[in-house]
């Protein structure tokens, strides 16, 4: 007696999360995130440019600081929409685990070390000697060491990473390899930073948009984005924030603007990324599991959209 061929069965969604999202939905979420991140940041930074003055002093300081939170705003909107659709997070999201608090300091030290080693190589090649004068000047402009450290942590690592790594990265990784995602995020990251070249007092303004140092800064976003992504892959959003903070703090503290040292930094960070990829995350699926849903662990995954 002939029988009808078996019908494909739909893949069940995670408990309490509704229908699993499609790659097309990921693309829609990514486009929404980028639109919010760029519009929010560029609008605020345009105000800072219009009012003029140093980024660390009124009246430019407020819109300059608010502009840094564009990626976080985009991440929060995507997260709210995902929860309303009752969809699981992308499989590439790294759920927070307590052991990440052990990994994060080591990855922060690695990020800082890449800058110090690059500065030493630059000095050996005839560049300026290492000095913390830049850190002292910046701390003075930001109301002291505490204000300097808080500003470096909030404006950049905290305001950006929930967006770039917690939202954009896993959605891109759903259909692309690590290197391709690193290149794409570099282009987006570099474009997003463009208005900062026009705001006085920012590291980008001091480099100059068309100078050799400015070009090298844009290129250095490639290994920098990959380094922070490797930290995210190993230890989640905490490590991504910490590594971003450590690199930024070291760059600003040492005043690393010499083109030779910047070129060295690109090489050193590229080597660090290669070692991280080879040492423990060679497999695409190693250590991966879907992040817990809000119904399973309320509030656990607040940094991810």
Residue 68 pLDDT greater than 70, yes or no: yes
Both tokens assigned to 13: 């969604």
6-15 tens-digit pLDDT: 444 443 343 3
pLDDT at 137: 84
What is this structure's pTM? 0.84
pLDDT at 1: 46
% residues pLDDT > 70 (the chain): 84
Distances (CA, A) of 183 to 51, 137, 263: 34, 34, 18
Residue closest to 65 by CA, chosen among 79, 77, 47, 50: 47
Mean pLDDT of 15-34: 71
Task: Provide the mean pLDDT of the chain.
Answer: 84
Left (φ > 0), alpha (ψ -120 to 50) or beta: where does 298 sit? beta
pLDDT at 179: 82
Residue pair 142/148 in contact by the 8 Å Cβ criterion: yes
Query: Which pLDDT band holds residue 282 (cuts at 50, 70, 90)?
Result: very low
- Interhelix angle 23-51/178-193, nearest 10 degrees: 30
Could you tell me the maximum CA-CA distance found in the chain, to the nearest angstrom? Answer: 87
pLDDT at 67: 97
% residues pLDDT > 90 (the chain): 54
228-257 tens-digit pLDDT: 999 999 999 999 999 999 999 999 999 888
Residue 291 pLDDT greater than 60, yes or no: no
């Amino acid at each position: 007696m002939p029988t009808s061929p078996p019908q494909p069965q739909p893949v069940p969604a995670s408990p309490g999360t509704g229908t699993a999202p499609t790659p097309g939905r990921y693309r829609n979420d990514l486009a929404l995130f980028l639109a919010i991140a760029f519009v929010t940041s560029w609008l605020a930074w345009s105000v800072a440019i219009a009012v003029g003055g140093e980024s660390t002093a009124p009246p430019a300081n407020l819109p300059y600081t608010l502009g840094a939170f564009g990626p976080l705003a985009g991440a929060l909107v995507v997260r709210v929409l995902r929860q309303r659709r009752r969809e699981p997070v992308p499989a590439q999201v790294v759920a927070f685990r307590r052991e990440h608090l052990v990994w994060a300091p080591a990855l922060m030290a690695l990020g800082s070390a890449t800058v110090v080693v690059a500065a030493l190589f630059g000095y050996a090649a005839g560049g300026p000697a290492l000095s913390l004068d830049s850190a002292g000047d910046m701390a003075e402009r930001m109301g002291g060491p505490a204000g300097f450290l808080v500003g470096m942590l909030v404006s950049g690592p905290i305001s950006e990473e929930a967006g770039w790594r917690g939202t954009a990265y896993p959605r891109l990784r759903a259909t692309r390899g690590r290197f391709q995602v690193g290149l794409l995020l570099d282009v987006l990251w570099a474009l997003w930073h463009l208005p900062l070249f026009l705001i006085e007092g920012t590291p980008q303004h001091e480099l100059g948009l068309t100078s050799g140092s400015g070009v090298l800064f844009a290129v250095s976003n490639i290994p920098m984005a990959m380094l922070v992504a490797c930290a995210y892959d190993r230890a989640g959003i905490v490590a991504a924030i910490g590594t971003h903070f450590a690199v930024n703090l070291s760059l600003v503290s040492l005043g690393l603007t010499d083109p030779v040292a910047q070129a060295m930094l690109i090489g050193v960070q590229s080597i660090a990324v290669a070692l991280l990829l080879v040492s423990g995350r060679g497999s695409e699926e190693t250590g991966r599991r879907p992040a817990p849903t809000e119904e399973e662990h309320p509030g656990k995954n607040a940094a991810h959209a």
